[in-house]
Structure 1
Amino acid sequence: MRLLHPILRGALAACLALCCQPPALAQQTLRLSTTTSTENSGLLAYLLPQFEADSGLRVQVIAVGSGKALELAKNGDVDVALVHARAAEDKFVADGHGVERRDVMYNDFVVVGPAADPSGARGRDVLAAFRRIAAGPARFVSRGDNSGTEQMEQSYWRLAGARPPAARYVAAGQGMGEVLNMAAELQAYTLADRATFSTYKARTGLEILVEGDARMFNPYGIIAVNPARHPGVNIQGARRLSEWLTSAAGRRGIAAFRPAGQQLFFPSTR
């Protein structure tokens, strides 16, 4: 080393330091695919800095619909998924793509629309509301993106035994925030998670018309990608995030997230 030019010595030292990093330092980034509701509501911006400070990890967030989030996890493009599509989550684990699923939190879905309620959907029975929307004059805007919200919406149409004709059914292929804006422009109805709707309510002028039906329960789960399928995933980081979100600290953080004084997510206690 003494015979090398000082600049070369510095470059060699830096190279050796990088090459000799312990494995823990090579996994400082954790890739998280998640539903748009956790991003659009501001929850992740509130929670993740607390986790990053506690863990030393940096979380890279990819916010898409739950279907796409699980597809990214299936392909090994992320390390962990935080989603709200329970049937799809259970199949994801049963098919061997994910491990160690945990309940994280819950809130509920709401049917929203114009205050005038042209289809007479207002009430507490979501299936009755969907039948009225199917028969009424106004349009319905669907996520159309295989998200957890769209999967729940499709289950309501099946159970209701009715759906709007094509001329009054708009499949947006967009996230929840964009769909709410579109419903406002079209004076249409849509199904939304309460957290995202609360964030967008002031800018859309839409109102909650149906809430409180037990069938509108909306649980969120976190699933680590199976390292046996994708050996390169950061399974240690995925476990740390799962454990933190379901720990006392994580539950406190979820409960404390109250924009405008309203609690939007409720931590699971299981």
Structure 2
Amino acid sequence: MKTWRCAWTGFAPVSLAVSLVAFLLAYPPPAPGAEILKLATTTSTQFTGLLDRLHPPFEKKFRVRIHTIAVGTGKALRLGQNGDVDVVLVHAPAAEKAFVSKGYGVNRRGVMYNDFVIVGPAPDPAGVAGTRGVSAALQKIAALRVKWVSRGDDSGTHKKEKILWRKAGLSTSGEWYRSLGQGMGKTLQIADEMNAYTLSDRGSFLFFEARGKV
């Protein structure tokens, strides 16, 4: 599989939204060495390996153990809403703001950025390589009915994809478009097997590409 970066700004802020559960647990201070901090984050963040570097010093300083649950943004926010985790680290600004405005979380902060790329088969049957603008690239794919696979899992990447199709003024109905209900890794694998295009966050794509999985 080959990746093309279209000439469009594909950045989406990855934000930290602390749930009310974490806010309430902050008082009184936890007993030393006795607390587990539950973090729901995206698979995209997990794949970068960043958390593996950040967790040890944090755990040592605050005498907690971090239990990470890597899922799509939608599920991560639902875990926070249900009080099943203490902190959510996700990348869907509109959903995050709604989460906080409804009282499910507090202290939302942007901490880093993620960007997205359209990836597809090396022969590039839709001719999107070098296309200026993501809408133009999607229009080429839709016009030729070239296979496209979508995560279809209410993740931040899936939310972003739906926004991009809407901005391009395109419908995704038809046999050429397949919604999987899967995470990024599985979606990339299926896209590779089907010689299809998909939208991926760059971190996940590089993670799987480096391991020869796409």
TM range (shorter): 0.7 to 0.9
Instruction: Report the secondary structure of 1:61's partner residue.
Output: strand
CA distance, structure 2, for counterparts of residue 26 and residue 119 of structure 1: 56
Do residues 161 (structure 1) and 169 (structure 2) align?
yes
Task: Name the structure 1 match of 2:121.
Answer: 114
Q: Do 2:32 and 2:63's aligned partners in 1 also have CA atoms closer than 8 Å? A: no
CA distance, structure 2, for counterparts of residue 97 and residue 165 of structure 1: 34
Instruction: Report the secondary structure of 1:24's partner residue.
Output: coil
Name the larger-Rg structure. Answer: 1
Instruction: Report the secondary structure of 2:171's partner residue.
Output: coil
Do residues 72 (structure 1) and 82 (structure 2) align?
no
Deviation at 1:137, TM superposition (A): 4.0
Read off the aligned partner of 1:153 and give its amino acid letter.
E
Moved over 6 A (4+): none
Deviation at 1:201, TM superposition (A): 1.7
**Where in structure 1 are there 5+ consecutive unaligned residues?**
1-21, 206-270
CA distance, structure 1, for counterparts of residue 72 and residue 89 of structure 2: 10
Could you report, residue by residue, the CA deviation over 1:105-150 in whole angstroms, capped at 9, with x for unpaired residues? 0131111111111011222411111111111242111111000000
CA distance, structure 1, for counterparts of residue 68 and residue 132 of structure 2: 35
CA distance, structure 2, for counterparts of residue 161 and residue 95 of structure 1: 31
- 101, 106, 110: which one pairs with 1:94? 101
CA distance, structure 1, for counterparts of residue 151 and residue 134 of structure 2: 17
Could you report, residue by residue, the CA deviation over 1:21-78 in whole angstroms, capped at 9, with x for unpaired residues? x942475100000111011222222221222122221100111000100000000000
Task: Name the structure 1 match of 2:39.
Answer: 32
Q: Do 1:118 and 1:137's aligned partners in 2 also have CA atoms closer than 8 Å? A: no
CA distance, structure 1, for counterparts of residue 94 and residue 41 of structure 2: 16
Task: Name the structure 1 match of 2:112.
Answer: 105
* CA 1:200–1:26: 2 relative to 1, 3 Å: closer
* Aligned-pair Cα RMSD in Å: 1.6
Read off the aligned partner of 1:200 and give its amino acid letter.
F
Normalised to the residue count of structure 1, the TM-score between the two structures is 0.65
Q: Do 2:120 and 2:197's aligned partners in 1 also have CA atoms closer than 8 Å? A: yes
Task: Name the structure 2 match of 1:18.
Answer: none
**Where in structure 2 are there 5+ consecutive unaligned residues?**
1-28
Read off the aligned partner of 2:198 and give its amino acid letter.
T
CA distance, structure 1, for counterparts of residue 159 and residue 88 of structure 2: 17
Task: Name the structure 2 match of 1:51.
Answer: 58
CA distance, structure 2, for counterparts of residue 178 and residue 43 of structure 1: 21
Read off the aligned partner of 1:91 and give its amino acid letter.
A
Task: Name the structure 2 match of 1:181.
Answer: 189
Q: Do 1:130 and 1:163's aligned partners in 2 also have CA atoms closer than 8 Å? A: no
Greater RCO structure (CA 8 Å; 6+ sep): 2
CA distance, structure 1, for counterparts of residue 66 and residue 172 of structure 2: 41
The structure with the largest strand share of the pair is: 2
Task: Name the structure 1 match of 2:24.
Answer: none
